[in-house]
């Protein structure tokens, strides 16, 4: 008979900190899932199909800069002050979006919201590494993933109902009291953690700005109807982004070099794969199936539930070889993409799409926690924010690229005779290719723990 696993007990302060971090994750989850649900209606009312992808990519590009800046700031100044700045920026972004007279101002608001929420992940990851014993860290990471459960269950449906009943503006306004409450509850426990980084390093913030600008130029260029502008902007964007990302990421990330570089590569591929379907299924429900916002939100709830289930499974069994867990997660996501593809036909039932994309969410959950634990095993004392910032940066780059490329296909369909189903099918096919690449790249992952 196997002896029960005895884990290190947590102190009251550690429990309070864990609760504060989970609440912060829940805030981000409410914000992301609510806005994705309302976005098709917003673009309908403001005539913003051509900016649909921009609203997705600008959020994650702002995330990219914020998470590098916050990770660096947290290492040097402690986590409390940057967390307050993040909450404040998020609230300003919500106000700007709620009062937006045009799609352009929605984009501005989303940029501020991305800058605000972008700092939460490096702060949370670095505090888990600093504040909790090693045997408890995988479970705390699972709690952070579980922070998406309740919002993902209720936020899409609630956002759809609010949009139908009061208007999409109240999706943004309704998040402001939650943001204020999370700030008031979470900052206290963070004040107990002081800066640990001893040596002064060169700031990576200008490099992060260059990377964001390059990716932004690339995804903007892809939307252009002018071929010369498309080629020029894309070329300049790539020339600007690639050198910056080489400085931000560990050497060898493009080839998934063994070790931490392979973890970074897999996180980029994983987030791009997931977004290739998750952000465009509600659009298919709206434009192809003619479903109301309530259904548009409901259809992706299954993926959020199964993501958390997969994360919980991976956290409550021995980690073993993280490469195997991450590879299996990619393969399960690939299966989910195949199963969800029939959403492109108008006669396909929405309930089938719900269950099909739940398979994709399960794959994401199975790989996400092992990748986080493997990545944070490379963090040395005083540099937790830097390493957590790199892994969160990988997520942001994956989301930004896929949001921009996927949005470009939607914009192209909007101005040509190409069907929306064809554009979304292209996004699904690209996501499937990325899932296969991720399965191969996972073989090179290992953990230092």
Q: Which range marks the domain in which residue 213 is found?
A: 202-248
407 φ, ψ to 5°? -65, -30
Q: Is the dihedral of CA 283, 278, 304, 392 positive or negative?
A: negative
Place of tokens 């099918």: 425
The first and second tokens of residue 44, run together, are 């309908």
Q: For residues 294 and 277, give the distance between their C-alpha atoms in angstroms, rounded to a whole number.
A: 18
Q: What tokens appear for 100 in the block?
A: 């937006």
According to DSSP, residue 10 is labeled P
pLDDT tens-place string over residues 407-424: 888 888 878 888 899 999
If one counts the domains in the chain, the total is 2
Q: pLDDT tens across 112-136, in order? A: 999 999 888 788 877 887 778 777 7
445 has pLDDT over 80: yes
Radius of gyration of the chain, Cα coordinates, nearest whole angstrom: 20
Distance of CA 92 to the CA centre of its chain: 20
pLDDT of residue 132: 81
In terms of Cα–Cα distance, which of 35, 44, 53, 51 is closest to 160?
Answer: 35
Looking at the structure, do residues 93 and 227 belong to the same domain, yes or no? Answer: no
Same domain, 32 and 122: yes
- The pLDDT assigned to 402 comes to 86
- What's residue 1's pLDDT? 42
| Residue-wise pLDDT tens digits, 308-344 | 788 878 776 655 678 888 999 999 999 999 999 999 9
Q: Is residue 263 domain-shared with residue 175, that is, in the same domain?
A: yes
Question: What CA–CA distance (Å, rounded) separates 278 from 291?
Answer: 16
Same domain, 368 and 299: yes
Token pair for residue 305?
């539930």
26-85 residue pLDDT tens = 888 888 888 878 888 888 888 766 677 778 778 878 888 888 888 778 777 888 889 999
Nearest to 25 by CA among 249, 185, 263: 185
Q: Which of 144, 139, 438, 445 is nearest to 320 (CA)?
A: 445
Q: Please provide the average confidence, as pLDDT, over all residues in the chain.
A: 84
φ/ψ bin of 304: left (φ > 0), alpha (ψ from -120 to 50), beta (otherwise): alpha
Mean pLDDT of 190-214: 78
Whether residue 224 is predicted with pLDDT greater than 70 in this model: the reply is yes
Distance CA 303, CA 184 (A): 31
Contacts of residue 356, Cβ cutoff 8 Å, sequence gap at least 6: 336, 339, 340, 342, 343
On whether both 300 and 239 belong to a single domain, the answer is no
Q: Say if 151 falls within a structural domain.
A: yes
The model's pLDDT over 133-161, given as tens digits with 9 standing for 90+, comes to 777 777 787 777 777 667 777 777 788 88
Residue, of 236 and 302, whose pLDDT is higher:
236
pLDDT bucket at 384, cuts 50 / 70 / 90:
low
Evaluate if residue 448 carries a pLDDT over 60.
Answer: no
Q: How many C-beta atoms surround the C-beta of residue 113 within 10 A?
A: 29
How many Cβ atoms from other residues are within 10 Å of residue 205's Cβ?
Answer: 15
- The pLDDT value recorded for residue 427 is 94
Give pLDDT tens digits for 268-316: 999 999 989 988 998 899 889 988 877 877 788 788 788 878 887 877 6
List the one residue out of 355, 262, 292, 14 whose CA is nearest residue 161.
292
- Based on the fold, state whether residues 171 and 210 are members of the same structural domain: no
**Is 4 within a domain?**
no
> What is the full DSSP assignment across 116-137?
HHHTHHHHHHHHHHHHS-TTTH
242-253 pLDDT, tens digit per residue, is: 999 888 888 888
Look at residue 393 in the predicted model and tell me its pLDDT.
82
User: Would you say residue 86 has pLDDT above 90?
Assistant: yes
Same domain, yes or no: 147 and 279: yes
Residue 364's pLDDT band (cuts 50, 70, 90): very high
For the ranges 41-50, 58-67, 189-198, 220-229, the lowest mean pLDDT is seen at 189-198
Residues 312 and 217 in one domain: no
Same domain, 180 and 228: no
In a domain? residue 6: no
Let me know if residue 449 belongs to a domain: no
Question: Smallest Cα–Cα separation from 27: which of 141, 151, 174?
Answer: 151
Shared domain check, 242 and 161:
no
Residue at 72 is within a domain = yes
> Which tokens is 344 given?
């492109």
The 10 Å Cβ neighbour count of residue 257 is 16
Q: Note the pLDDT of residue 361.
A: 93
| pLDDT for the residue 2 | 44
User: Do 272 and 359 belong to one domain?
Assistant: yes
Kind plus residue range of the DSSP H or E element containing 435:
helix 420-441
- Cα-Cα-Cα-Cα torsion 137, 138, 141, 147, nearest 10 degrees, comes to -120
- For residue 226, what are the contacts with CB-CB under 8 A and spacing of at least 6? none
CATH number at residue 128: 1.20.1250.20
pTM of the model: 0.73
pLDDT for res 321: 77
Residues 236 and 368 in one domain: no
**Residue 184 scores a pLDDT above 90:** no
Rounded-to-integer distance, Cα 243 and Cα 313, Å: 38
219, 248, 277: which is the final residue of a domain? 248
Calpha distance 275→260 (Å, rounded)? 23
Averaged pLDDT for residues 374-389: 69
Residue 378 located in a structural domain: yes
Task: Give the residue among 402, 183, 130, 145 at the shortest CA–CA distance from 271.
Answer: 402
Residue 5 inside a domain? The answer is no
User: What is the pLDDT confidence band of residue 358, given thresholds at 50, 70 and 90?
Assistant: very high
Report yes or no on 261 lying in a domain: yes
């Amino acid at each position: 008979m196997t002896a029960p696993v005895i884990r290190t007990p947590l102190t009251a302060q550690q429990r309070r900190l864990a609760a504060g971090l989970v609440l912060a994750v829940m805030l981000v989850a409410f914000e992301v899932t609510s806005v994705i649900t309302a976005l098709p209606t917003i673009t309908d009312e403001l005539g913003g199909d051509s900016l649909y992808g921009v609203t997705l990519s600008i959020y994650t590009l702002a995330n990219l800069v914020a998470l590098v800046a916050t990770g660096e700031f947290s290492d040097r100044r402690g986590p409390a002050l940057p967390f307050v700045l993040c909450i404040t920026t998020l609230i300003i972004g919500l106000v700007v979006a709620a009062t937006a007279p045009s799609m352009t101002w929605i984009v501005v608001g989303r940029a501020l919201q991305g800058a605000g929420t972008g700092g939460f992940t490096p702060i949370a990851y670095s505090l888990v590494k600093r504040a909790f014993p090693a045997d408890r860290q995988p479970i705390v990471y699972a709690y952070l993933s579980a922070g998406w459960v309740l919002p993902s269950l209720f936020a899409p449906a609630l956002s759809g109902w609010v949009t139908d009943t009061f208007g999409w503006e109240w999706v943004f306004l309704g998040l402001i009291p939650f943001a204020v409450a999370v700030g008031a509850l979470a900052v206290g426990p963070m004040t107990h953690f002081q800066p640990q980084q001893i040596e002064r390093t060169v700031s990576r913030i200008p490099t992060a700005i260059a990377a964001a600008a390059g990716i932004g130029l690339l995804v903007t260029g892809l939307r252009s109807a002018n071929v010369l502008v498309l080629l020029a902007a894309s070329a300049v964007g790539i020339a600007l982004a690639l050198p910056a990302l080489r400085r931000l990421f560990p050497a060898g990330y493009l080839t998934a070099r063994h070790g931490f570089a392979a973890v970074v590569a897999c996180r980029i591929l994983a987030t791009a794969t997931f977004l290739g379907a998750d952000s465009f299924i509600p659009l298919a429900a709206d434009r192809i199936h003619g479903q109301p916002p309530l259904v548009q939100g409901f259809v992706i709830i299954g993926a959020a539930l199964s993501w958390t289930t997969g994360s919980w499974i991976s956290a409550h069994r021995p980690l073993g070889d993280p490469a195997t867990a991450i590879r299996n997660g990619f393969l399960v996501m690939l299966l989910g993409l195949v199963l969800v593809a029939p959403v492109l036909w108008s006669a396909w039932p929405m309930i089938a799409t719900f269950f099909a994309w739940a398979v994709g969410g399960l794959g994401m959950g199975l790989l996400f926690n092992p990748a986080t634990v493997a990545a944070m095993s490379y963090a040395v004392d005083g540099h937790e924010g830097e390493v957590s910032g790199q892994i969160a940066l990988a997520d942001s780059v994956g989301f930004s690229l896929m949001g921009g490329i996927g949005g470009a296909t939607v914009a192209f369909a909007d101005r040509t005779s190409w069907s929306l189903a064809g554009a979304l099918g292209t996004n699904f096919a690209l996501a499937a290719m990325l899932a296969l690449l991720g399965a191969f790249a996972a073989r090179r992952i290992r953990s230092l723990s």
